[in-house]
Amino acid sequence: MKALGLDIKREEWESTTGMTLLDVPEPKLDEGRDPLDGGRVIIRPLYTGFCGSDKGIWFRHAFKDMIFNSLNGQPYRICGHELLGEVVETGQYARDHYGYKPGDIVSTESHIFCGRCHQCRIGDAHVCSDHLIIGISTDGCFAEHVKLPAKELWRTDTDRIRPEVAAIQEPLGNAVHACSTVDLRGKTMAVFGCGTIGLFSILVARAMGATTIIGVDPNGHNLEMAERLGVDAVYRVDPEPPRRLGVGPDPEIVNEIKKRCFGEGVDVAFEMSGSNQALNTAIAATRAGGDIILFGLSAGDYTLTGFQDIILYGKSLHSVIGRKVFQTWYIMSNLLMSREHGVQEKIYDVILNRGEGTVFQFREFERSRFEKAIATHPKIVLKY
Contacts with Zn ion, residue ranges (CB under 5 A) = 51, 113-114, 117, 120, 128, 171
Nearer to Zn ion among residue 203 and residue 261 (C-beta): 203
Q: Kindly state the smallest distance separating residue 369's Cβ from Zn ion, in Å.
A: 21
CB of 377 to Zn ion, least distance (A): 15
Smallest distance from the beta carbon of 166 to Zn ion, in angstroms? 14
Q: Report how far residue 351's alpha carbon sits from residue 199's, in angstroms, rounded to the nearest whole number.
A: 8
CB of 110 to Zn ion, least distance (A): 6
Q: State the minimum distance, in angstroms, from the CB of residue 130 to Zn ion.
A: 5
Consecutive H or E run containing 43:
strand 40-50
Return the number of the residue (66 or 117) whose C-beta is nearest Zn ion: 117
CB of 200 to Zn ion, least distance (A): 11
E strand or H helix at 3, and its extent?
A: strand 2-6
Q: Which is nearer to Zn ion, 109 or 250 (CB)?
A: 109
User: Is 218:238 a contact under the CB 8 Å cutoff?
Assistant: yes
CB 29 within 8 A of CB 367: no
∠ CA 58-64-66, rounded to 5°: 120
What are the percentages of helix, strand and coil residues in the chain, rounded to 5? 35, 25, 40
Given the complex with Zn ion, which of 95 and 111 has the nearer CB atom?
A: 111
How far is Cα 204 from Cα 351, in angstroms, rounded to an integer? Answer: 13
Q: How far apart are CA 356 and CA 339, in angstroms?
A: 23
Among 53, 280, 342, 293, which Cα is nearest to 191's?
A: 293
Nearer to Zn ion, 53 or 286 (CB): 53
For residue 74, give the amino acid letter: Q
Closer residue to Zn ion in complex, CB, 149/171: 171
The pair phi, psi for residue 346, each rounded to 5°, is: -70, -35
